[in-house]
Amino acid sequence: MSTFSFKLPDLGEGIVESEIVAWHIAVGDEVSQDQHIADVQTDKAVIEATSPISGTVVKLGCQAGEVLAVGSELVLFDTQGTASATATSTADTPAASAKPQAAATPQPAAADKQAVSPSATTESSASQQNDSAILTSPSVRLRARQHNIDLHSISGSGPKGRINHSDLDRLIHEPKANSATAASTKTTASNALPNTPKKSYPLTGTRRIIAKKLQQAAQQIPHYSYVEEVDVSQLEQLRQQLNQQHSHHKSKLTLLPFIIQALLKSLPQFPHCNAHFNNDSNEVTEYQAVHMGIATMTDQGLMVPVIEDCQSLDMWECAARIEQLADAARNHQIKPSQLSGSTITLSSLGKLGGIAATPIINAPETCIIAINKIQRRPVVVDEAIAIRSIMNLSASFDHRIVDGYDGASLVQAIKKLLEQPEMLINP
């Protein structure tokens, strides 16, 4: 038997390991060159892995949901088409290079694997093979798993019956299905809630990446937060006026483009707030260009699309880029290159903004600015009580790089510009 070991490739941008989200092949399958064999989750996005050769699958490098190091064996192929009858998946015999990651897998899962009968294994392999025949993308498969949807039950609206996100949306948001689910849940809760066992599950995919990055940032960066209230009454009037005057623009101005403009005018005084800090080399890199990360909530978790070179864009261009990137992230069309390279991050909590927040820095950056919701409040203006539109800014800084005085001064500079918005639109 002539074999070929396909290693997990280097996917670039310093990625040293990746999670195998789903397999689309099983041991014993005949695979053709360039066939979609697995969905691989990196720190940035889900990527389709394709076979570099044609052959028979002898062994899989891990189970779906496990993590492999770059360079570890992903698939072992028999290139003569005579797979060994005794070939087994590395669920029973992990690859040596994958042992550190496999050790972190919860033991109950390992026990479950050992308890699976040969007939169950055959059924699982057949199910994987049937799933691989469905025309759809990795992101659709991921959403279907998250919502416990059987893709076999969906008639795709795309070419050749391809299942798109819109097909899932119709099923997920169908009123009758939701109401029936709610009624079922209500009945179950009233009858069986006292005996309902606790639910435990491993973090996988994007959720695992988010957890890992935030834990590292919280542990490695000595955060401090600074909160200031801003009177945005004039800014709101100007924003509405500009939207009316420029109604021909496809994108409407939200608060974010104004915040970005205020940051662009303020950051030259505080270059260490538009910077990266390298823990390993103990080195700060300040950037002249501003690549703004926009924290965006999606059904897969938090993503941070990046608007590159904000200093070269006006407010309308910023508004358009924000809308394009947010839509791409929420519709699972974002590219890995659009999720990296930010030098400072802006987070908008929208209607759920609350009074204040303590945002976690998007490492290796040194600063993050969060916008809280606008509220109509009574304030003192010229020794008289007036009702004004007030919004809080919540900022967090890396105290190793940004002193408290500098962090407060940056927020005060932003506040001044937002309270005198004509300074933002005039050179």
Which CATH number goes with the domain that contains 266? 3.30.559.10
| Residue 183 is assigned to a structural domain of this protein | no
Please give the residue that has the higher pLDDT: either 217 or 142.
Answer: 217
- Quick one: CA torsion of 139, 143, 145, 148, rounded to 10 degrees? -160
More reliable by pLDDT, 101 or 373 = 373
pLDDT tens digits, 145-174: 777 888 888 888 876 677 877 787 777 776
Whole-Å CA distances, 314 to 18, 76, 321:
38, 52, 11
Query: How high is the pLDDT of residue 328?
Result: 92
Please indicate, yes or no, if residue 97 is contained in any of the structural domains: yes
- Supply the DSSP string of 238-258, one letter for each residue: HHHHHHHHTTTSSSPP-HHHH
- The CATH number of residue 44's host domain is 2.40.50.100
Tally of domains within the chain: 2
262 in a structural domain: yes
Domain endpoint, select from 133, 168, 183: 133
Question: In 3D, which of 100, 102, 133 has the Cα closest to residue 24?
Answer: 133
Containing structural domain, residue 252: 220-425
On average, the pLDDT of the chain sits at 81
Claim to verify: residue 357 and residue 260 sit in the same structural domain: yes
Distance CA(303)–CA(20), nearest Å, equals 19
Give 415's pLDDT tier (boundaries 50, 70, 90): very high
Confidence tier at 334 by pLDDT (50, 70, 90): confident
pLDDT per position as a tens digit, 14-57: 677 888 888 999 998 999 998 999 988 876 677 888 999 999 99
- Do 246 and 388 lie in one domain? The reply is yes
Residue 371 included in any domain: yes
Q: Which of 79-83, 185-189, 206-210, 233-237 has the highest mean pLDDT?
A: 233-237
Q: Tokens 């978790």 correspond to what residue?
A: 301
Answer yes or no: pTM beyond 0.85: no
Mean of pLDDT values over 109-135: 46
Last residue of a domain, one of 133, 166, 187: 133
Distances in Å between the Cα of 140 and the Cα atoms of 126, 146, 151 are 20, 10, 9
Q: What are phi and psi of 306, to 5 degrees?
A: -120, 125
Of 82, 107, 133, the domain-final residue: 133
Asked whether residue 118 falls in the same domain as residue 239, the answer is: no
The per-residue pLDDT for range 239-270, each reduced to its tens digit, is: 999 999 888 877 899 999 999 999 999 999 99
Sheet of 36-41: strands edge to edge? 46-50, 36-41, 17-23, 67-69
- Same domain, residue pair 290 and 419: yes
Domain assignment present for 189: no
Helix, strand or coil, per DSSP, at residue 106: coil
Residues classed as catalytic: 399, 403
Same domain, 115 and 241: no
User: What's the CA gap between 161 and 287, in Å, rounded?
Assistant: 48
Residue 187 in any domain: the answer is: no
Residue 231 lies in a domain: yes
Mean of pLDDT values over 119-141: 57
Per-residue model confidence (pLDDT) at position 121: 42
Residues of the chain with pLDDT > 90: what percent? Answer: 48
